[in-house]
């Protein structure tokens, strides 16, 4: 097999796989009977492809699960027109809960509620677990043994991160409104089920807000007693 053929196979595999592939998986794919392609050769080809696609509309990105071709983020406003559905939006409560789990993991639900000052909607945690962005890492050794939540490899893959060290700094996340768009650049690729879950969360939160406003006669202030 020539170097050009090897590059074409790896390039095509990354295009059609529909998921990230590791150098080891690619090595197994291209290895022929009686011959072995080294991991260094695979990595060299991947680096070459990354350089080749830098000036194109798609790029080869490395995430926690391996390498994958993706459209560039700056093109998302045009590409989302390919989907007729209204692009879903994550609620502030959803983003705050996910951010606290990512930055403070392992963390319990009660600890999230203490920091946010309001109760965590059960639908938010259910959605995060179903999407496999969050997992139960264990249980804290205190009365009741509350679950400890942490992020998963799927979370890293979705947000194009190789590890947690690549998360934006807390200073960069200070303005949550400006960061929200960055966290949602791939939502147009999400399933209809995900859109329904997010819309349910928003509907429940709006109902809860109205109920509290009716009781107290004022807008929610974030009092921990609510």
Q: What is the DSSP string of 3-47?
A: HHHHHHHHHHHHHHSSS-B-HHHHHHHHPPTT----HHHHHHHHH
DSSP string of 48-63, one letter each residue? HHHHHTTTSSEEEEEE
Phi/psi of residue 150, each to 5°?
A: -150, 170
pLDDT > 70 fraction of the chain, expressed in percent and rounded? 71
pLDDT given at position 76: 81
Domain spans, the chain: 3-71, 92-216
pLDDT given at position 170: 63
CATH number, domain 92-216:
1.10.10.10
Q: Do domains 3-71 and 92-216 have the same CATH topology?
A: yes
Asked if omega into 106 is within 30° of 0 (cis), the reply is yes
Fold classification of 3-71 is Arc Repressor Mutant, subunit A (1.10.10)
DSSP 184: T
Return per-residue pLDDT of the chain as tens, 226 residues: 788 999 999 999 999 998 999 999 999 998 876 677 889 999 999 999 999 999 999 999 999 999 999 998 888 888 877 876 665 567 888 988 998 999 999 999 999 999 888 889 889 999 999 999 999 999 999 888 999 999 999 999 888 888 888 887 766 655 554 555 545 444 444 444 444 555 555 555 554 444 434 433 433 334 333 3
Burial of residue 151, with CB atoms counted within 10 A of its CB: 0-12 exposed, 13-18 middle, 19 or more buried: buried
Phi/psi of residue 71, each to 5°?
A: -70, 150
Residue written as token pair 């692009």: 87
pLDDT in tens, 53-88: 999 999 999 999 999 999 988 888 888 778 766 655
Q: In sequence order, which residues have a C-beta less than 8 Å from that of residue 70 and are 6 or more positions away?
A: 58, 59, 61, 160
Q: CA geometry: angle at 178 spanning 93 and 56, to 5°?
A: 115
pLDDT given at position 80: 79
Q: Give the CA-trace dihedral at 56, 58, 63, 68, to 10 degrees.
A: -120
Q: In sequence order, which residues have a C-beta less than 8 Å from that of residue 91 and are 6 or more positions away?
A: 198, 201, 202, 205
pLDDT in tens, 18-37: 899 999 999 999 887 667 78
Indicate whether this model's pTM tops 0.75.
no
């Amino acid at each position: 097999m020539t170097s050009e053929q090897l590059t074409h196979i790896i390039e095509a595999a990354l295009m059609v796989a529909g998921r990230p592939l590791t150098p080891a998986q690619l090595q197994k794919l291209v290895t022929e009977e009686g011959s072995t392609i080294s991991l260094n050769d695979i990595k060299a080809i991947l680096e070459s492809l990354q350089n080749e696609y830098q000036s194109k509309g798609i790029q080869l990105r490395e995430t926690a699960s391996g390498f994958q071709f993706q459209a560039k983020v700056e093109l998302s406003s045009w590409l989302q027109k390919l989907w007729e559905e209204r692009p879903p939006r994550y609620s502030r409560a959803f983003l705050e809960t996910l951010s606290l789990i990512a930055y403070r993991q392992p963390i319990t639900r009660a600890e999230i509620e203490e920091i946010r000052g309001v109760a965590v909607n059960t639908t938010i945690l259910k959605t995060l677990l179903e999407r496999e962005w969050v997992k139960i890492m264990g249980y804290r050794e205190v009365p009741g043994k509350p679950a400890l939540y942490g992020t998963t490899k799927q979370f890293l893959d979705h947000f194009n991160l190789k590890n947690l060290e690549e998360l934006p700094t807390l200073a960069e996340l200070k303005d949550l409104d400006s960061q929200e768009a960055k966290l949602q650049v791939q939502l147009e690729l999400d399933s209809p089920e995900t859109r329904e879950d997010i819309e349910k969360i928003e509907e429940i939160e709006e109902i809860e807000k109205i109920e509290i406003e009716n009781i107290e006669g004022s807008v929610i202030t974030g009092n921990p007693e609510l």
